[in-house]
Every structure is written in structure tokens, then in C-alpha cells.
Structure 1
Amino acid sequence: MKILFGNFLGFLILALFSTVTVCTPSDQLTDPDPLPDLKFTTKTAKMTIKVDTLHRGFQNPWGTTWIGEGRMLVTEKRGEILIFKDDKYTGQKVTGLPSFYTNGQAGLLDITVHPDYTQNGWIYIAYAKPVNSGGATTIGRFKLNGNSVANFEELIVTTPVWNGGTHYGSRIVFDNQKFLYFSNGERGSQNNAQDLKNSHGKIHRIHDDGRIPTDNPFINTSGAIPSIWTYGNRNPQGLYFDKANNRLWEVEHGPRGGDELNVLEKGKNYGWPVITYGINYDGTPITNITEKDGMEQPVKYWTPSIATCGMTMVTSDKYPAWKGNILVAALAATHIARVEMNGAKASGEEKLLQGIGRVRQVAQSPDGYIYAVTEGTGLLIKLLPAN
């Protein structure tokens, strides 16, 4: 039985009753196993991969990280960290976490480990901290004592506090010097992104213990938030640091159109809302210009929007045809965008796994495999080279 479909949920239902082969414009999926262990092979433009579904049942998964000995942590926005071992959910969760402000896009967001995790044991989280009746994007860190939080430290809290659930960011990455970068959305209030006196609509840079680096670009600017690294960023939900080329990459949501892929550089203005390739959700223009002196152009933009989220760069030898490509999670477009790169320039794109669900994060594990988590379909998947 062969079925053409545009909705992966429909495929999951049909898979209960029949053996299904699914065709999409860019992928050929063959012989998926019956639920609950869905596995299939897909032919992409440059290689054939196997997709292994490791877990089903997430509500709003957000971040992923690995902590050694085959263990993986996955955050749920509602305030949980699920513990996996050797690609299987252990049924256990991290206990002793702080309180979270969960409202719309706010909650427990990203998670990562310190570059020297094996020596110091620090795990970092980005989350919305409850403050009065609102929330503040916050970076904290802790260690694990078994499955319990120990030595929790709050490193930085963004300001002003916002009463609402729109555009909180947030991702965390470390660079080669072990500086920590995190993203913070502009809360749906456009002018925040250009205002250096608030934290919103910015990328921030701090030391691993929360101190402000003395060489940050606005450290000596009167009234400016000293942690700001870049500004004019709308709602950046993807960050990646390319260690080999010393580049900080970001993807951010545009409004209706105008999602962006950017290389972030110290002190630069990325334009929102003065310049954009998007329009308002009601179809009216935001601005009549897409370029302006002193404001950066994206490396790539998507119109219509795909709703960019998490991202990674393929550095693993396990995917030789994809090496150096950037993978971008697409929420609204329900796929992974494989962006071919020529240095810092985008040279092509392929949609992978169209219809898999709202892809929230895509990441490369320490042993070189690609994982992704989805909303709606609630999946944790692993991409394996077919050979």
C-alpha cells in the first residue's frame, strides 16, 4: 500500500493498520516498523539515512545535552528534565529544580554542559524565572547528585521583568575561550530589540560563573546592559558555536516571513525591527526597507517563514556528504532544513523529514550522531547513516 501525505500524524495513525511506504518531494521513506517503535529509511539528495524513533510522548521538549556514560538529558518546557540512558528513557527525571514561569513560550528552555563538564560537573539551563507576576529569561547552573540538583546557582537574570509569554528565546552555547552566550527574545515588543537599556531582543555574553567580561562591546556605554553582545535580534531560538572557524551562528524567528540565519559578531546590530524581510501577521508592512547602513544582513532568510528553532552544524565523519552543513529545526514547516554552506555563505538547502512534527531542537551527540526532538508528534529521533 502506497500513500502520499502531507501530515506525519496521519501517517502514524495509518501505520497502525498497514505497512506503509511514504513519498514526499525530497524523501523516500520505506518499510516503517509498526508503532510504537517507528523506524524507516529515507533517501535524501546526498545520502540515505535510517531514522530511529527512540521515544514518543513528549509534550513540549526544548533542549538536549549529553552528560557521559551514555546519558542524555531532555528538557520539557513545563519544567522537567527527562533522563535517557543508551538512547532509552529511564523513566526518571531530575529532581530539585527551581520554580519556573510557564506561560506561552516561557518555561524551562535550553540545557547544556560546561566544556569541562567531566572535571567540574556543571550543567547550565536557560529558563523563565517567576518574578512578581511575570517572568525573566535567566541562566542558572547546577550539579547532579544522583538524579538530584545540587549546588544550584543563578548566574544572570534579564530585565525588565515581562508579564506575558512571548519571545523568551533561549539557547546557550560556549565558545573556544569558555565564554557563555545566551539568546533572549524581544518579548513581542519590537522596540526592545534596539534599546540597549533592556536585555530583550539581544544575544548576551558572560563568564561561565555569571561575571560580565570586561571586553563586552557595551560595557562602557552609559545605561546599557553590560552583558549584551549583539542587538536587533527578534526571537533567537537557535545558537551554535563553530569551534573550527570561531564563528557564532544564530537563527531567529521573523514575523510573517523573514526568519534569519546570522553570523553574530561583537557589538553588531541585526536590524529588527528597522529592517526585515517579513511583514506583520495581519499582512501590513513593518518597514519599507530591508537594508540600512550599520545593520547586518542575514546569511540566509526564509520567506515564507519555516519558524526556525534549534540548530547544529554537522562536524561528524558519520555523515560525510553533510559535513559542514547547518541543520535548522523548523517548527511551522515541520522538517529539518539542511543548509549547505560554502564558508560563511549559504549555497543550497534541502528539506529533510517533511511532516515529522514541529522540530524544536536538532543536535549532534558527542559520538557524532544527529538527534532531534519534536512537538505535536512528541518524538525523540536519531538519524543513522544507512551503511
Structure 2
Amino acid sequence: MDAQNMVVRWYRNDPFGLVHRYSTSQNDTEEQRPEYQGRTEFLKENIIRGHVALRIHPIQPSDGGEYACFFENSTYYNEATFQVLVTVSGMAPHIHIESGNRRDIKLTCTSAGWYPEPELQWRDHQGLNLAPVSETKTVEENGMFHVKSSLTVDKSSTANVSCVVRNLILNVEKEVHVSMADALFLEDYTWIVWLAVILIFLAISAAICLLILRARKAKEWIKLLEKDGMEFARKYAENVTLDPDTAHPYPQVGEDKRSVKRGDILQELPKNKQQFDDLVCVLGQQIFSKGKHYWEVNVKNTMQWTLGICKNSICRQGEIMVSSETGFWTLCLSRSNNYQALANPRVILHIEEPLEIIGIFLDYEAGSVSFYNVTNKSHIYTYKQCFTEALRPYFYPGPLSSDQHGHTLTIEHLSCLEKPGRKCLCY
């Protein structure tokens, strides 16, 4: 009969308690047992014909037991009881082979995820049961059973052995076979496995040693940069000059193209694609795509300067962020009067005395740009980068000073020494 307006209840009889209640076309779970909260769903697609169902999901081993279903209204009452069996067929068993004594081989069969407690049997090639030497069945945290059984087999046997785990409710079994001939073969060649493990270990150890040596060489290279780097770099002195065609309209480039300062008047310069229209800077005329190159810049009494190199392909129109991520590898004196390497993130440099002359050394193949304090011949900072594009010297002369005159950045005159015909290793 139509049960739309009836009260439908499901109870557990052992232990007793409400599983789900449906009343006045709504679900009422106020008195529901805690272990069923959020896991029950009332199915009422055919309730007009008096057919309803309760779905429990996810199912748990503890859900097995006796249930009762009640239909009730003011003139009708009926109930039904039924038994729910929860069962799970677990994973296929696995056999582990290990050497026993000189005469025996030990086989251990394991499988997990069974409910209720399964049956485990060892069988020979004729299907006859074999007696295990040990067997354990344990209940895991999820309520499922884990089984483990061991069997000892004489090494003279060459027949197959099977481990079978059975679900007694469903009468379903899962089985694994092992060939004794294969087991003996594996045992005979165990020494080969150990030899392979030892060789792999030695190979890994050799690789680690090589990495340590490479790291030590890299540290030695850094020490060279810090100790003797400037003397080495000066062997690659370049006659660097400025390229007025790249200059923003504010910076004023000297006639000898070796000095630049920030002017207070926006110059009327011919428009060209090489010129920066927002970033107040100028590039060097030299374009470097290989080799080693060194130049020095006098920054004495100059405010907020930035020096270094940048990619020749840098977009020169619009707002540009000066950073190693955008293709600039530079050193600067910031507005807050501290020295910084404009990496990402920025690196604050602790320099005791104001810098007056800065040496810049580019080793293209080594992928490094190093900065030196020429006054005391000390190393300041080094960028490490794999260069793939042409590079150019970069100059930002800073803002106007308080007396409305920009201080000047000047490229020092250096005598180019004979350049060695060797390349430095890039660690």
C-alpha cells in the first residue's frame, strides 16, 4: 500500500538502536545511533507501491547483524526482521621464499583485507592439504583480517605448491602458486643479487664522491674570485663606452661617451626603438656573446646608481622591473643608502666603507658576473647564470642631487692587457 504518509523506521536488534527514521515525507535522524550518522540514505522512488529501501554507505564490518523494518500509521502497523551479513574478499595472497636450513625452504603466505575471518590452506600439486608450521590471523584497524601462514618444503621436491585463502560466506577463494624448481633457482643465484646490490652501492658512492669533489672545486673557484679575482679579471679589461642611441631623454652622455649624469631637462632626442622611454638609463656600445670582459666605473659621491649588465633583447618601452629574473644582473646603491644585489629576492650587502670605483667582470662561458671594490681589491658579489643571449653593460646614474645637479658615473680608462688564450672551467 502507499506509504508516503507512514512512519518508516529501521532498528538494530543487537545492539538495539535506531538506524534511520522517515516521517511526514522527511528524514528524521535526531535519535539515530552515532555510528550511522552520515552513512544512511532513504530510497523512496517506489513508496507509493509500499516499496522502500535503506542504503548504508560506506559499509563497515560492524554493520552485520539483525535489523527490523517498521511501517506505521494511525490505522496500520507491520514489521519485518532480517539478517545482514557483511563480507569482504581480500587481496590475492603473496608467497615469500626464504632459505631455511640446508635441507629446507621456508614459504610464507600473506593476505589482507578479508571479512569475516577467512580460511587459509596450503595445497600440493594434487590438491591435497599440507600442514603449515605456523599460522596467525590478526584484526587490522579497519576491522579486516590479515592472515599469515608458513610452510616448510624439502629442497628435494620439485612440485608446485599453492596457498589458498577462502571467504566462507561467499565461497570465494583466491590462490597463488609457486614452483619449487623456480624457488631453488632463485636460492642458487642469491649471491648474484647480493653482488648486484654491492655494485650499485659502489656506483652510488662514487657518484657522491664526484659531487663532493665538484662542490669543493666550486668553493675553490669562489675563493679565487674573492682573493685573486680582481687581479685575474683585470687581464680582460675592455674599452667600454656608452651608446647615446639607447639613452633615456634625461641622462646626459658625455662627448667622450665615457660618462653619464642625470640631467634636470628632458632632452629632445630623435625617437628610435633602441631608446629607453621609461627606465632612466643608458647601455654600453659593446655587445658580449662570448669570452671574458672587465671594466671599471667611478661612482664616487653618486646617489642611487645601478651598474651591471643586461640582455641586449630587453624591451625598452614601458615600465621595466630591474631584476635578475627579467634579464638584469646589477649592483645598486639604493634610496635608503644601502648596497644591494638586485636578485630575486634582493640581497643586502654589508659594505663598511662607501664604494668609489667598482670593477665589473663578465665570464660568459662560466655564467658569472662579479663585482669588485677596486679601492681595496675585494670581492663584493657574484651572480651565477647560464647565459644564452647577447649582453650589454648597463648604467643608471641616479636622481638629481639636492643642488639640482646629477652626479656623474664615469667609466675608468684601463690599459687592455694581453688576454690569455685559455678558458676557465664553469663549475
TM range (shorter): under 0.3
Instruction: Write 1 or 2 for the structure with the bigger share of helix.
Output: 2
Q: Computing the radius of gyration over CA atoms, which structure comes out larger, 1 or 2?
A: 2
Instruction: Write 1 or 2 for the structure with the bigger share of strand.
Output: 1
Q: Report the TM-score, using the length of structure 1 for normalisation.
A: 0.25
Q: Report the TM-score, using the length of structure 2 for normalisation.
A: 0.23
